[in-house]
Amino acid sequence: MIDMELKANKVLGEGMYLIPPNTKIVKIKGEDEMSYRIIALFGPSGAGKDTLLKAIEELDLPIEINKIITTTTRPKRDYEIEDVDYHFVSVNTFGLSIMNEEMLEATTFNNWLYGTSILDLKEDAINIGVFNPMAIECLLEDDRLQILPIYVKASDKTRLMRQLEREEDPDCLEICRRFEADLKDFDDIDFTHKTIANDKSGTAWLKTKAFEEAFLDLINNNFN
């Protein structure tokens, strides 16, 4: 855990804040503060997390589903849409968000910063996003949040096939690297979570009434 005064205490070059991977930004909820409900999807590459998230967004539920959009300092790619795929910000803006206690968790990847802002959450909705296990551990320590972690699983064969079929000319070496890394990252999950098996071909099962009812039961049984 990092003291509030030390969250952005080092500067690299032109104002780049040095933030340790998966910085734990913990704040205890005051009496007048809001409480947010978050479904945190996690799982290895190719398990179908984004497919599941999109299907949940399209369900006809009696409560609003709010997709959590990650904030990043990475440059926007040509096909990406601002405030739909990511919130693209400067390094200084990201650092100020941490100092202002707006970032619930933050991490670095390939020298870019990524994080989840509390400003992206809605109190009267079910907020849902994709996280890695360390980020979920950070979220679980924040008293402002009610967290329901859901482990999205699929067989090794299914995951590899999905990753190979995503692109016309896939980077097989990168796929193998991620596959090996996932074996370590998801070997020992020590926080309580639900599990969804996502081995089925296609997305038709995600659009059924049975899935919708099961998901609604999951919400009703796990959130206040």
The label of the residue with tokens 């639900």 reads: 194
What CATH number is given to the structural domain containing 137?
3.40.50.300
Position 12 confidence tier, pLDDT thresholds 50, 70, 90: very low
Distances (CA, A) of 131 to 92, 111, 137, 180, 189: 23, 18, 10, 18, 13
Does the residue 213 lie in any domain? Answer: no
In a domain, 215, yes or no: no
Look at the pTM and tell me if it is higher than 0.85: no
- Please indicate whether residue 141 or residue 20 has the higher confidence score (pLDDT): 141
Residue 221 lies in a domain: no
For residue 164, being part of any structural domain is answered with: yes
Reported as a pLDDT band with limits 50, 70 and 90, residue 179 is confident
* The pLDDT value given to residue 32: 52
Distance separating alpha carbons of residues 80 and 120, to the nearest angstrom: 18
Residue 214, pLDDT above cutoff 50: yes
Q: What is the pLDDT of residue 88?
A: 97
pLDDT (tens digit per residue) in 110-154: 789 999 999 999 999 999 999 989 899 999 999 999 999 999 998
Domain that holds residue 138: 4-204
Closest to 91 (Cα-Cα) out of 111, 69, 105, 70: 111
Beta bridge partners of 188: none
Has residue 222 been placed in a domain? no
Would you say residue 123 lies in a domain? yes
Residue 185 pLDDT: 84
Residue 12 within any structural domain of the chain: yes
What pLDDT is stored for residue 170 in this prediction?
Answer: 84
**44/152 Cα distance (integer angstroms):** 8
pLDDT tens-place string over residues 39-50: 999 999 889 998
pLDDT digits (tens, 9 = 90+) for 58-101: 999 999 999 999 999 999 988 889 999 899 999 999 999 999 98
Q: List strand residue ranges (DSSP E) for the chain, in order.
A: 11-12, 16-17, 23-24, 36-42, 65-67, 71-72, 87-88, 103-109, 112-117, 126-130, 145-153, 194-197
Domain count, the chain: 1
- Average predicted confidence (pLDDT) for the chain: 83
* Residue 219 placed within a domain: no
Determine the pLDDT at residue 110.
Answer: 79
